Chains A and B, each alone.
Chain A
Amino acid sequence: MSTRTLLLPFVIAAGLCTVKAAMAPDSLVKRAAEAYAAGDHATALALFDSVALTHTSAALEYNIAHCHYRLGHIGPAVLHYERALLFAPGDEAIRADLELARQRVLDRMPTLPASPLRSLWDRLRGGQDPDQWAWRSILLVLGFFLLLSLSLFIRTRGPRLTAMVAAFLLLPFALGAIVLARVRHGELTGRGAAIIMAPRVDVLSEPRNGATKLYLLHEGTRVLLRQRNADWYEVRLDNGGVGWLAAERLEPI
């Protein structure tokens, strides 16, 4: 008896809806929102999940997390809030609701105090569109070369120098945007952390069954992934402990 068994009907329903999802994700989202408003969270979840097979966004992950939360699936709720937060790091609502979901996780995790610098960085990276820094970097590079080109064709000495200075002032921003785009891409595609999905799971000292048990973790707890070995992940706990977990017991964010 685990969340997987509980989720089975939704997975089937999601499978049935795959074809429809490819056709009209917007209408599915609308129907899901109606079901959610009517308090039918299970139906809403099945519909949102079917959209999520082909599409994704911060808002979609947020809604899926809400459905799981209402249905009492705390592991999936935390997982999807984390995913939503990954898409939109600076979003206050997601952060607050993730905090509420975490309060229902059995393992108490040391939460980092919210530093103003950290939240500034989050807001800087943030936004709903994961491509925003890629677009910005393209625009800044374009601007840099436009200004340079302009300076080629200006005959007067003063304005020509101004254009060139402006171009080289733009250059660090362009390079910074490229770096940020790269960081965001790494965050979104990398598998840095994972959420425990089984109700309770032992962290072992070696990647094999029967190894020494080091820690006991519960559903919804977040671990950092270090490396993968066949069906096992080496994980790092928030308290600094390191051990091995079966890959099927957790879900990378």
Chain B
Amino acid sequence: MVIDSQKMKSLAEATSREDVAGRSLWADARRRFFSNKAAMFGLVLLVFVTLFALFGNYIAQWSNEEIDFSVMGMVAEQGGPSIANGHYFGTDDLGRDLFARTVQGTQISLAVGIIGSAIAVVVGTIYGATAGYFGGRLDNFMMRAVDILLAIPYMFVLILLLVMYGRSITMLFVGVGLISWLEMSRIVRGQTLTLKGREYIEAARAIGVPAPVIIRRHILPNLIGVVTVFATLLVPNMILTESFISFLGLGVQEPMTSLGALISEGSGTISYGTLWQLAFPLLFFVLTLFGFFFVGDGLRDALDPKDR
């Protein structure tokens, strides 16, 4: 076969003139994540739950505050899930629409999880990266402080906080945020210590790049993988914590509700034959947790392929 050398030359020139797009580690990770079936399943679950939390109120026939007097007192017989009277998930003990209540509960639970995790990411990353990068006395001091805080039984403190300052949703956010960053700062510090020894950090120091810029430009981008994975896995833990507190009756207060509070109510009335009051909140609770755990695992596999 004869190849037209003129054409080949011009082709070679054209390819060497144009800038080649690089394939970043992020792009690689994205490809691996999207080809992971379990992670995609988890992502679909999460999207579904989020859409439910955001737009569920537009589908609901009843608001979460209204009491349906036609079923009140006969919840066990008439409050079951039905499309006819608009209570898709049935009603709760008082005759309130459980669909609207579940939407509200999912909103609160997701918010607690995501805000708690966000606090952990911001505070924990900055704290851990600082301690790890500067090392020495500062590191010792900062990490011992974390050790002391971790040694305090947080559930006890959280319950005390809620009892002392009243059961409010803000207090719950504060309490969850206070504890969530500790573990994160430890992980980030450990990761920073390994990164600090890498030659490219040394190269940056030799160039004369100031320490805050090294942390921002070289350490943080290499931490993001670990932080994202941990944050995703932290969200369900936060939701679990909040649900546990709410289950104890100390979490969010009426008329607000969370999935934990709804499950608590549902389990209280299970002996009266109103199984749906437990089943629907529990279903959304489980779906959310599954979604986050699957996505978290998928992210870990995608971002750190060597770790498998």
Q: Do A and B bind each other?
A: no
* Interface residues in chain A, defined as those with a beta carbon under 8 Å from any beta carbon in chain B: none
- Where the two chains meet, the residues of B that have a C-beta atom closer than 8 Å to any C-beta of A are none
